[in-house]
Amino acid sequence: MNRLLLILLSSSYILFLLPTTVIPIGVNYGTLGNNLPSHTEVANFIKTRTIIDRVKIFDVNPDIIKAFANTNILITVTVPNGDIPSLTNPRNAVRWVNTHIKPFHPATKFHYICVGTEVLHWGPQNLIDNLVPAMKVLHAALVKAGINDVKVSSPHSLGILFESNPPSNASFRHGWDVGNIKPMLEFLRKTKGGFMVNPYTYFGYSPPYEAFCLFKPNNGLFDKATGKRYTNQFDQLMDAVHVSMKKLGYPDVEIIVAETGWPSGGDPQNKHANPVNAAAYNGGLLKKVASGVGTPLMPGRKFETYIFSLFNENLKGPSLDEQNFGLFRPDFTQVYDIGILRGPQKEPTSPSSRPAAPVQGKKWCVPKPNVSNAALQSNIDYVCSHGTDCRPIQSGGACFQPNNVQAHAAFVMNSFYQTNGRHDFNCDFAKTAVITFTDPSNSRHNIPKVTARVSILPKLGNEQSNKAMGIDKGRTGHAVVLLML
């Protein structure tokens, strides 16, 4: 009897240790950086150190595909937009599968093939017209090759929506709805594939609705037609997509979040691009996805979700925001903590959490060597528009001499770092600064002279209006829709 009880207790203990649900959380792995680790190191890091179980890449790089072999990590690859018309030819599609998929399958666990990226938004028309036919022909080529566990889809910007607020009024844009999206949804239903969308609340940000964008407590928005209240913009956008699909007759097709995220840094005018907000959004997103609660109109629905992105990529552009969407730096250190690493898991960083206490000791923030004067001048403009006293570097000020960009930038960047708590992320400046333990003040006279320009940036006005919609082309290669409230 005692032995039986011991066995039952031991079994219960083991079951208690096992996770009750699998978090379908993925990450977009971009490679536009000249300081990124090798693909093998990345694959090993994701497998051994993180809870990420799926990766999406923006090409069919064979080195990346091989690096993820035998890792048990699902990988989604992407057909370049320009290759879409050729894949409507069955012979070309078979050749594409035989080149990019078959040699690596099944050692590499392919999950999806994305045919293009945001094709409906960017066009041109011949790509739009060939998108669904290419998806169908490519799927047939996979089946012909005996590959039945790889699905085909295509991610969309939310520019496909004509309306999103309130969700009950949502619909796809006329022309795309019946001409392109409906046949795509029919294909996805038959193949049990997911409809991929890229909802970025970051690009719909406005100060009055910060809490709504960042999963912070707020009164929410009420949809009178459905009687549902929305306390975050992510739910609003997902239900807008769902309603639009339902109006075409396809509410049952799975919705996949192919891209979403928030940058931890950006251009000086984008003050909402910071580590605290990035941790609030991505942490809130992770918590929502893990909970499985779904949305007001899709209760209990689980969304396969890919955060954008894995690394900060220093060659992206044109804005600094683009370079700072990463969860990790190239050395695998976290930009902020949302509970993505393995081990004893912390709760994702709360939107209201304070930054970690600064390390004690004498530290200074200085520009990195060989940083351009334009970048340093941008840092001066940023700091002087964010409350730091810049009078010492103005004409007649105590630190005006030497009168050059490097010296003035060194002074104001360090002032910003010291007065904001001496946290490491306050000495980032889009990777143009570094923390030093050596007082730099004695070496300023060695800095070459380039006259600095001190300016105060004007505060941005709030021009958003209810139900306004526009297109932001700031994200190179990834269109987003501004869904303003």
The pLDDT score that the predictor gives to residue 428 is 75
- Per-residue pLDDT tens over the stretch 419-431: 776 766 677 777 7
Hey, where are the domains in the chain? 22-324, 364-446
Check pLDDT > 90 for residue 234: yes
Q: Where does the pLDDT of residue 440 fall: very low under 50, low under 70, confident under 90, or very high at 90 and above?
A: low
The residue written with tokens 């609003």 in the block is 236
Those residues whose C-beta lies under 8 Å from the C-beta of residue 128, and which sit 6 or more positions away, are 119, 120, 176, 180
Confidence tier at 103 by pLDDT (50, 70, 90): very high
Task: Report the pLDDT value the prediction gives residue 254, as an integer from 0 to 100.
Answer: 97
Q: Is the pLDDT of residue 132 over 60?
A: yes
Q: What is the mean pLDDT of residues 338-347?
A: 72
Instruction: Provide the H-helix boundaries in 221-264.
Output: 233-247
pLDDT at 3 exceeding the cut of 60: no
Reported as a pLDDT band with limits 50, 70 and 90, residue 149 is very high
State the pTM of this model.
0.70
The 10s digit of each residue's pLDDT in 48-101 is: 999 999 999 999 999 999 999 999 999 999 999 999 999 999 999 999 999 999
- Supply the pLDDT for residue 425: 66
pLDDT value of position 350? 38
3-class SS at 366?
strand
Condensed to tens digits (0 to 9), the pLDDT of residues 235-254 reads: 999 999 999 999 999 999 99
Cα–Cα nearest to 184, from 140, 82, 176: 176
What mean pLDDT is predicted for residues 194-198?
A: 98
The question of whether 163 is a catalytic residue gets the answer no
Mean pLDDT score of the chain = 82
- pLDDT at position 441, please? 58
Structure tokens at 104: 């690596």
**By mean pLDDT, which of 20-24, 99-103, 113-117 is the weakest?**
20-24
- Calculate the alpha carbon distances from 170 to 231, 237, 455 in Å: 18, 9, 44
Q: Which of 215, 228, 375 is nearest to 287 (CA)?
A: 215
Question: Active-site residue among 163, 259, 304, 313?
Answer: 259
| pLDDT bucket at 194, cuts 50 / 70 / 90 | very high
Residue 353 has pLDDT above 80, yes or no: no
Average pLDDT over residues 157-170: 93
The question of whether 463 is a catalytic residue gets the answer: no
What is the distance between the terminal CA atoms of the chain, rounded to a whole angstrom? 65
Percent of the chain residues topping a pLDDT of 70: 79
What tens digit of pLDDT does each residue of 203-215 get?
889 999 999 999 9
Q: How many percent of the chain have pLDDT more than 90? A: 61
User: Packing angle between helix 233-247 and helix 275-291, nearest 10 degrees?
Assistant: 50
Note the pLDDT of residue 448.
33
In the prediction, which pLDDT does 98 show?
A: 97
Span 3-26, average pLDDT: 45
CATH architecture of the region 22-324: Alpha-Beta Barrel (3.20)
Q: Identify the burial level of 227 via C-beta atoms within 10 angstroms of its C-beta, where 0-12 means exposed, 13-18 middle and 19 or more buried.
A: exposed
What digits encode the pLDDT tens for the residues 181-193? 999 999 999 999 9
